[in-house]
Protein backbone atom coordinates (compact mmCIF):
# COMPACT_ATOMS: atom_id res chain seq x y z
CA UNK A 1 0.00 0.00 0.00
CA UNK A 2 1.53 3.34 -1.05
CA UNK A 3 2.41 5.84 1.63
CA UNK A 4 0.23 8.91 2.03
CA UNK A 5 1.56 12.07 0.38
CA UNK A 6 3.79 14.35 2.41
CA UNK A 7 2.97 18.06 2.29
CA UNK A 8 5.72 20.59 2.86
CA UNK A 9 4.61 24.21 3.08
CA UNK A 10 6.60 27.17 1.81
CA UNK A 11 5.64 30.13 4.00
CA UNK A 12 6.24 33.51 2.40
CA UNK A 13 5.52 37.04 3.54
CA UNK A 14 2.30 37.11 1.50
CA UNK A 15 -0.27 34.51 0.41
CA UNK A 16 1.14 34.71 -3.14
CA UNK A 17 4.55 33.65 -1.82
CA UNK A 18 3.17 30.66 0.12
CA UNK A 19 2.41 27.31 -1.47
CA UNK A 20 2.37 23.55 -0.81
CA UNK A 21 4.89 21.02 -2.10
CA UNK A 22 3.25 17.59 -2.26
CA UNK A 23 5.51 14.53 -2.33
CA UNK A 24 4.17 11.04 -3.00
CA UNK A 25 2.87 8.63 -5.61
CA UNK A 26 -0.07 9.04 -7.99
CA UNK A 27 -0.49 12.78 -7.42
CA UNK A 28 -1.49 13.96 -10.91
CA UNK A 29 -5.15 13.61 -10.04
CA UNK A 30 -4.78 16.42 -7.49
CA UNK A 31 -3.87 19.00 -10.12
CA UNK A 32 -7.41 20.23 -10.96
CA UNK A 33 -8.24 21.04 -7.34
CA UNK A 34 -5.03 23.07 -6.99
CA UNK A 35 -6.20 25.38 -9.76
CA UNK A 36 -8.58 27.95 -8.30
CA UNK A 37 -12.15 28.41 -9.48
CA UNK A 38 -11.15 31.58 -11.31
CA UNK A 39 -8.89 29.66 -13.71
CA UNK A 40 -10.55 28.94 -17.04
CA UNK A 41 -7.61 28.31 -19.36
CA UNK A 42 -4.46 26.31 -18.71
CA UNK A 43 -1.34 26.08 -20.88
CA UNK A 44 0.66 22.89 -20.27
CA UNK A 45 4.31 23.50 -21.19
CA UNK A 46 6.33 20.32 -21.73
CA UNK A 47 9.49 19.22 -23.55
CA UNK A 48 9.43 17.21 -26.76
CA UNK A 49 10.50 14.07 -24.88
CA UNK A 50 7.40 14.23 -22.64
CA UNK A 51 4.78 14.80 -25.32
CA UNK A 52 2.65 11.85 -24.13
CA UNK A 53 2.74 13.04 -20.52
CA UNK A 54 1.92 16.60 -21.54
CA UNK A 55 -1.04 15.38 -23.59
CA UNK A 56 -2.24 13.27 -20.65
CA UNK A 57 -2.16 16.25 -18.27
CA UNK A 58 -3.97 18.39 -20.86
CA UNK A 59 -6.68 15.75 -21.34
CA UNK A 60 -7.16 15.34 -17.58
CA UNK A 61 -7.60 19.09 -17.21
CA UNK A 62 -10.04 19.21 -20.12
CA UNK A 63 -12.02 16.41 -18.48
CA UNK A 64 -12.17 18.50 -15.30
CA UNK A 65 -13.74 21.40 -17.21
CA UNK A 66 -10.72 23.56 -18.06
CA UNK A 67 -9.88 24.88 -21.50
CA UNK A 68 -6.48 23.21 -21.75
CA UNK A 69 -3.83 23.27 -24.45
CA UNK A 70 -0.16 22.39 -24.74
CA UNK A 71 3.04 24.11 -25.82
CA UNK A 72 5.90 21.79 -26.74
CA UNK A 73 9.41 23.15 -26.25
CA UNK A 74 12.90 21.75 -26.98
CA UNK A 75 14.42 19.29 -24.53
CA UNK A 76 16.78 20.26 -21.68
CA UNK A 77 18.76 23.52 -21.83
CA UNK A 78 17.80 24.07 -25.48
CA UNK A 79 14.40 25.10 -24.15
CA UNK A 80 15.77 27.93 -22.01
CA UNK A 81 16.10 30.63 -24.67
CA UNK A 82 14.31 33.89 -25.30
CA UNK A 83 13.01 32.54 -28.62
CA UNK A 84 11.27 29.69 -26.75
CA UNK A 85 9.77 32.11 -24.22
CA UNK A 86 8.56 34.25 -27.11
CA UNK A 87 6.88 31.23 -28.66
CA UNK A 88 5.04 30.56 -25.38
CA UNK A 89 3.98 34.22 -25.11
CA UNK A 90 2.61 33.95 -28.63
CA UNK A 91 0.53 30.90 -27.68
CA UNK A 92 -0.82 32.70 -24.63
CA UNK A 93 -1.65 35.80 -26.63
CA UNK A 94 -3.36 34.02 -29.50
CA UNK A 95 -5.51 32.11 -27.03
CA UNK A 96 -6.46 35.19 -24.98
CA UNK A 97 -4.98 34.08 -21.66
CA UNK A 98 -5.89 36.52 -18.89
CA UNK A 99 -4.31 37.22 -15.52
CA UNK A 100 -6.64 34.72 -13.85
CA UNK A 101 -5.57 31.83 -16.10
CA UNK A 102 -2.65 29.48 -15.43
CA UNK A 103 0.40 27.63 -16.71
CA UNK A 104 1.41 24.08 -15.75
CA UNK A 105 5.04 23.02 -16.23
CA UNK A 106 5.64 19.32 -16.85
CA UNK A 107 9.28 18.30 -17.10
CA UNK A 108 12.75 18.73 -15.68
CA UNK A 109 14.50 21.77 -14.28
CA UNK A 110 14.91 23.51 -17.62
CA UNK A 111 11.14 23.33 -18.19
CA UNK A 112 10.23 24.65 -14.74
CA UNK A 113 12.75 27.49 -15.18
CA UNK A 114 11.36 28.44 -18.61
CA UNK A 115 7.68 27.98 -17.76
CA UNK A 116 8.12 29.91 -14.52
CA UNK A 117 9.76 32.76 -16.42
CA UNK A 118 6.92 32.80 -18.97
CA UNK A 119 4.38 32.87 -16.11
CA UNK A 120 6.27 35.66 -14.33
CA UNK A 121 6.35 37.85 -17.43
CA UNK A 122 2.93 37.23 -19.00
CA UNK A 123 0.67 40.10 -17.88
CA UNK A 124 3.27 40.74 -15.15
CA UNK A 125 2.53 37.42 -13.51
CA UNK A 126 0.08 34.53 -13.80
CA UNK A 127 -0.33 31.36 -11.75
CA UNK A 128 2.06 28.47 -12.42
CA UNK A 129 2.06 24.93 -11.02
CA UNK A 130 5.12 22.73 -11.42
CA UNK A 131 5.03 18.98 -12.01
CA UNK A 132 8.74 18.06 -11.98
CA UNK A 133 9.56 14.77 -13.69
CA UNK A 134 13.30 14.51 -12.95
CA UNK A 135 15.00 14.05 -9.60
CA UNK A 136 16.95 17.26 -10.18
CA UNK A 137 13.78 19.27 -10.73
CA UNK A 138 12.02 17.65 -7.77
CA UNK A 139 14.68 18.52 -5.22
CA UNK A 140 15.80 21.84 -6.62
CA UNK A 141 14.47 23.69 -9.67
CA UNK A 142 10.73 23.32 -9.07
CA UNK A 143 10.84 24.61 -5.49
CA UNK A 144 11.72 28.18 -4.63
CA UNK A 145 10.28 30.40 -7.33
CA UNK A 146 13.50 31.06 -9.23
CA UNK A 147 12.85 31.32 -12.96
CA UNK A 148 15.23 32.04 -15.77
CA UNK A 149 16.53 31.68 -19.28
CA UNK A 150 20.07 31.39 -20.62
CA UNK A 151 21.95 33.87 -22.77
CA UNK A 152 25.21 33.65 -24.67
CA UNK A 153 26.87 35.35 -21.68
CA UNK A 154 25.80 32.80 -19.07
CA UNK A 155 23.19 30.66 -17.39
CA UNK A 156 20.09 32.12 -15.73
CA UNK A 157 21.32 35.71 -16.03
CA UNK A 158 17.83 36.76 -17.15
CA UNK A 159 15.02 35.76 -14.81
CA UNK A 160 12.61 36.66 -12.05
CA UNK A 161 11.44 35.42 -8.67
CA UNK A 162 7.93 34.02 -9.20
CA UNK A 163 6.71 31.49 -6.61
CA UNK A 164 4.49 28.71 -7.99
CA UNK A 165 0.97 28.13 -6.71
CA UNK A 166 1.92 24.52 -5.91
CA UNK A 167 4.47 21.81 -6.71
CA UNK A 168 3.43 18.20 -7.33
CA UNK A 169 6.37 15.86 -6.78
CA UNK A 170 4.98 12.59 -8.13
CA UNK A 171 7.62 9.96 -7.38
CA UNK A 172 6.10 7.62 -9.96
CA UNK A 173 7.98 9.65 -12.57
CA UNK A 174 11.30 8.37 -11.21
CA UNK A 175 10.46 4.78 -12.22
CA UNK A 176 10.91 5.65 -15.90
CA UNK A 177 13.83 8.04 -15.44
CA UNK A 178 17.12 6.75 -16.93
CA UNK A 179 19.68 5.77 -14.29
CA UNK A 180 22.11 8.46 -15.42
CA UNK A 181 19.40 11.10 -14.81
CA UNK A 182 18.82 9.77 -11.29
CA UNK A 183 22.55 10.04 -10.67
CA UNK A 184 22.53 13.53 -12.18
CA UNK A 185 19.88 14.66 -9.69
CA UNK A 186 21.79 13.27 -6.72
CA UNK A 187 24.35 16.07 -6.97
CA UNK A 188 21.82 18.53 -5.56
CA UNK A 189 20.89 16.03 -2.85
CA UNK A 190 24.55 15.69 -1.84
CA UNK A 191 24.94 19.48 -1.84
CA UNK A 192 22.03 19.82 0.56
CA UNK A 193 23.50 17.20 2.86
CA UNK A 194 26.75 19.12 3.16
CA UNK A 195 25.21 22.55 3.77
CA UNK A 196 22.29 21.59 6.01
CA UNK A 197 21.42 17.95 6.79
CA UNK A 198 24.17 15.41 7.49
CA UNK A 199 21.63 12.57 7.67
CA UNK A 200 21.33 12.88 3.87
CA UNK A 201 25.03 12.05 3.56
CA UNK A 202 24.69 9.11 5.95
CA UNK A 203 21.76 7.67 4.00
CA UNK A 204 23.87 7.71 0.83
CA UNK A 205 26.98 6.31 2.51
CA UNK A 206 25.01 3.44 4.05
CA UNK A 207 23.97 2.14 0.62
CA UNK A 208 24.78 4.24 -2.48
CA UNK A 209 23.04 1.79 -4.83
CA UNK A 210 19.83 1.83 -2.79
CA UNK A 211 19.97 5.62 -2.69
CA UNK A 212 19.25 5.70 -6.44
CA UNK A 213 16.65 2.92 -6.45
CA UNK A 214 13.38 4.63 -7.49
CA UNK A 215 11.30 1.88 -5.87
CA UNK A 216 12.97 2.14 -2.49
CA UNK A 217 12.08 4.07 0.66
CA UNK A 218 15.62 5.47 0.93
CA UNK A 219 15.27 7.65 -2.16
CA UNK A 220 11.92 9.00 -0.98
CA UNK A 221 13.47 9.99 2.34
CA UNK A 222 16.35 11.67 0.51
CA UNK A 223 13.89 13.58 -1.69
CA UNK A 224 11.77 14.69 1.27
CA UNK A 225 14.77 15.74 3.35
CA UNK A 226 16.29 17.70 0.49
CA UNK A 227 13.03 19.48 -0.30
CA UNK A 228 12.45 20.19 3.40
CA UNK A 229 15.78 22.02 3.60
CA UNK A 230 14.99 24.12 0.55
CA UNK A 231 11.45 24.86 1.74
CA UNK A 232 12.84 26.16 5.02
CA UNK A 233 15.49 28.32 3.38
CA UNK A 234 13.10 29.75 0.78
CA UNK A 235 10.51 30.53 3.46
CA UNK A 236 13.10 32.61 5.31
CA UNK A 237 14.79 34.17 2.26
CA UNK A 238 12.72 34.29 -0.91
CA UNK A 239 14.92 36.58 -3.00
CA UNK A 240 18.40 35.36 -2.12
CA UNK A 241 19.32 38.31 0.08
CA UNK A 242 21.15 36.15 2.62
CA UNK A 243 20.78 32.51 3.64
CA UNK A 244 19.49 31.37 0.25
CA UNK A 245 22.90 32.03 -1.28
CA UNK A 246 24.12 28.92 0.54
CA UNK A 247 21.98 26.80 -1.80
CA UNK A 248 24.47 27.80 -4.51
CA UNK A 249 27.22 25.71 -2.91
CA UNK A 250 29.27 24.31 -5.79
CA UNK A 251 27.32 26.25 -8.40
CA UNK A 252 29.77 29.07 -9.21
CA UNK A 253 32.19 26.74 -10.97
CA UNK A 254 29.32 24.51 -12.14
CA UNK A 255 27.67 27.29 -14.12
CA UNK A 256 31.00 28.27 -15.65
CA UNK A 257 31.55 24.65 -16.74
CA UNK A 258 28.08 24.52 -18.28
CA UNK A 259 28.84 27.70 -20.21
CA UNK A 260 32.19 26.35 -21.38
CA UNK A 261 30.49 23.13 -22.47
CA UNK A 262 27.77 25.07 -24.31
CA UNK A 263 25.25 23.45 -21.95
CA UNK A 264 25.99 19.97 -23.28
CA UNK A 265 27.06 18.72 -19.82
CA UNK A 266 24.26 17.74 -17.44
CA UNK A 267 23.72 20.17 -14.57
CA UNK A 268 24.25 17.55 -11.89
CA UNK A 269 27.60 16.49 -13.31
CA UNK A 270 28.75 20.12 -13.36
CA UNK A 271 27.51 20.64 -9.79
CA UNK A 272 29.40 17.55 -8.61
CA UNK A 273 32.64 18.97 -10.03
CA UNK A 274 31.74 22.34 -8.50
CA UNK A 275 31.26 20.73 -5.09
CA UNK A 276 34.67 19.11 -5.31
CA UNK A 277 36.20 22.46 -6.22
CA UNK A 278 34.40 24.32 -3.42
CA UNK A 279 35.63 21.73 -0.92
CA UNK A 280 39.22 22.13 -2.12
CA UNK A 281 38.93 25.93 -2.03
CA UNK A 282 37.57 25.77 1.51
CA UNK A 283 40.38 23.43 2.51
CA UNK A 284 43.10 25.57 0.90
CA UNK A 285 42.03 28.74 2.74
CA UNK A 286 41.65 27.01 6.08
CA UNK A 287 37.88 26.70 6.49
CA UNK A 288 37.18 23.11 5.46
CA UNK A 289 38.85 20.16 7.20
CA UNK A 290 40.67 17.43 5.31
CA UNK A 291 38.05 14.93 6.48
CA UNK A 292 35.13 16.96 5.13
CA UNK A 293 36.87 17.71 1.83
CA UNK A 294 37.69 14.03 1.30
CA UNK A 295 34.12 13.07 2.20
CA UNK A 296 32.96 15.10 -0.81
CA UNK A 297 35.12 12.97 -3.07
CA UNK A 298 34.06 9.63 -1.59
CA UNK A 299 30.32 10.31 -1.65
CA UNK A 300 30.25 11.77 -5.15
CA UNK A 301 32.37 8.94 -6.54
CA UNK A 302 30.20 6.31 -4.81
CA UNK A 303 27.24 7.60 -6.82
CA UNK A 304 29.15 7.68 -10.11
CA UNK A 305 29.37 11.48 -10.25
CA UNK A 306 32.47 13.24 -11.65
CA UNK A 307 34.87 15.12 -9.38
CA UNK A 308 37.48 16.38 -11.87
CA UNK A 309 37.59 18.58 -14.97
CA UNK A 310 40.02 19.62 -17.69
CA UNK A 311 43.10 21.65 -16.72
CA UNK A 312 43.17 23.41 -20.09
CA UNK A 313 39.81 25.11 -19.48
CA UNK A 314 40.87 27.29 -16.53
CA UNK A 315 40.97 30.64 -18.37
CA UNK A 316 37.46 30.12 -19.79
CA UNK A 317 36.15 28.98 -16.42
CA UNK A 318 37.57 32.00 -14.59
CA UNK A 319 35.94 34.28 -17.15
CA UNK A 320 32.64 32.47 -16.69
CA UNK A 321 32.81 32.68 -12.90
CA UNK A 322 33.32 36.43 -13.07
CA UNK A 323 29.77 36.65 -14.45
CA UNK A 324 28.33 34.76 -11.49
CA UNK A 325 25.29 36.33 -9.83
CA UNK A 326 26.98 36.19 -6.39
CA UNK A 327 29.82 38.47 -7.54
CA UNK A 328 29.82 41.95 -6.05
CA UNK A 329 31.71 44.80 -7.69
CA UNK A 330 33.84 42.39 -9.68
CA UNK A 331 34.91 40.42 -6.60
CA UNK A 332 34.22 36.68 -6.72
CA UNK A 333 32.33 35.22 -3.77
CA UNK A 334 32.09 31.49 -3.04
CA UNK A 335 30.11 29.37 -0.64
CA UNK A 336 32.53 27.26 1.42
CA UNK A 337 32.06 25.03 4.48
CA UNK A 338 33.40 25.68 7.95
CA UNK A 339 31.94 22.29 8.84
CA UNK A 340 29.04 20.14 7.67
CA UNK A 341 25.86 22.16 8.10
CA UNK A 342 27.78 25.42 8.51
CA UNK A 343 28.32 27.16 5.15
CA UNK A 344 29.68 30.68 4.79
CA UNK A 345 30.47 33.18 2.05
CA UNK A 346 34.15 33.60 1.20
CA UNK A 347 35.21 36.71 -0.74
CA UNK A 348 38.23 35.72 -2.80
CA UNK A 349 41.03 38.30 -2.36
CA UNK A 350 43.23 36.88 -5.12
CA UNK A 351 42.32 34.71 -8.11
CA UNK A 352 45.54 32.77 -7.64
CA UNK A 353 43.82 31.05 -4.71
CA UNK A 354 41.16 29.80 -7.09
CA UNK A 355 43.76 28.51 -9.51
CA UNK A 356 45.57 26.65 -6.74
CA UNK A 357 42.35 24.95 -5.62
CA UNK A 358 41.50 24.07 -9.21
CA UNK A 359 44.79 22.22 -9.59
CA UNK A 360 43.48 19.73 -7.04
CA UNK A 361 40.58 18.72 -9.27
CA UNK A 362 42.14 19.33 -12.69
CA UNK A 363 42.99 16.49 -15.03
- Write out the residue range of the structural domain in which residue 328 sits: 179-358
Number of domains within the chain:
2
Query: 340 and 253, same structural domain?
Result: yes
DSSP state of 313: G
16 is in an annotated binding site: no
254 marked as part of a ligand binding site: no
**pLDDT bucket at 213, cuts 50 / 70 / 90:** very high
Which pLDDT score is estimated for 1? 54
Give 45-94 as a DSSP string: EEEGGGHHHHHHHHHHHHHTT-EEEEEEE-SGGGG-SHHHHHHHHHHHHH
Q: Is 75 annotated as ligand-binding?
A: yes
Percent of the chain with pLDDT over 90: 86
CA distance 250 to 270: 9
67 in a structural domain: yes
Domain end (from 176, 201, 220)? 176
User: Do residues 255 and 286 both lie within one domain?
Assistant: yes
**pLDDT of res. 157:** 87
Residues 236 and 284 grouped into a single domain:
yes
**251 is annotated as contributing to ligand binding:** yes
Rounded to whole angstroms, the Cα distance separating 319 from 252 reads 11
Say if 1 falls within a structural domain. Answer: no
Do 170 and 241 have their domain in common? no
Q: Say if residue 209's pLDDT is above 70.
A: yes
Tell me whether residue 162 is in a domain. Answer: yes
pLDDT at 37 over 90: no
Same domain for 167 and 188? no
Same domain, 247 and 141: no
* pLDDT tens digit sequence for 160-180: 999 999 999 999 999 999 999
| Residues designated as active site | 124, 146, 188, 230, 240, 244, 248, 251, 255, 267
- pTM (predicted TM-score): 0.94
Q: Has 146 been labeled as part of a binding site?
A: yes
How far apart (Å, rounded) are the C-alpha atoms in residues 187 and 179?
13
**C-alpha–C-alpha distance, residues 94 and 71, integer Å:** 12
Q: 229-240 pLDDT, tens per residue?
A: 999 999 999 888
Angle CA 27–31–37, to nearest 5:
155
Please say which residue of 143, 176, 209 terminates a domain: 176
Residue that wins the pLDDT comparison between 330 and 261 = 261
Amino acid sequence: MPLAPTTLQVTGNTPEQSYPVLVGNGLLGQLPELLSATVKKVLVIHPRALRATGDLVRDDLAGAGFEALTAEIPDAEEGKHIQVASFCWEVLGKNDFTRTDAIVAVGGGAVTDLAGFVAATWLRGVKVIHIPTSLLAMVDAAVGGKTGINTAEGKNLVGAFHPPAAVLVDLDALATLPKNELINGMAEVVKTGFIADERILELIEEDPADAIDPSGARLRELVERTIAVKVGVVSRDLKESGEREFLNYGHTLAHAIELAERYQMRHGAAVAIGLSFAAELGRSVGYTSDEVAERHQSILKSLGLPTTYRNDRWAALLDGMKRDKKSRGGQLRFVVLEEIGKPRIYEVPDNSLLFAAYQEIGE
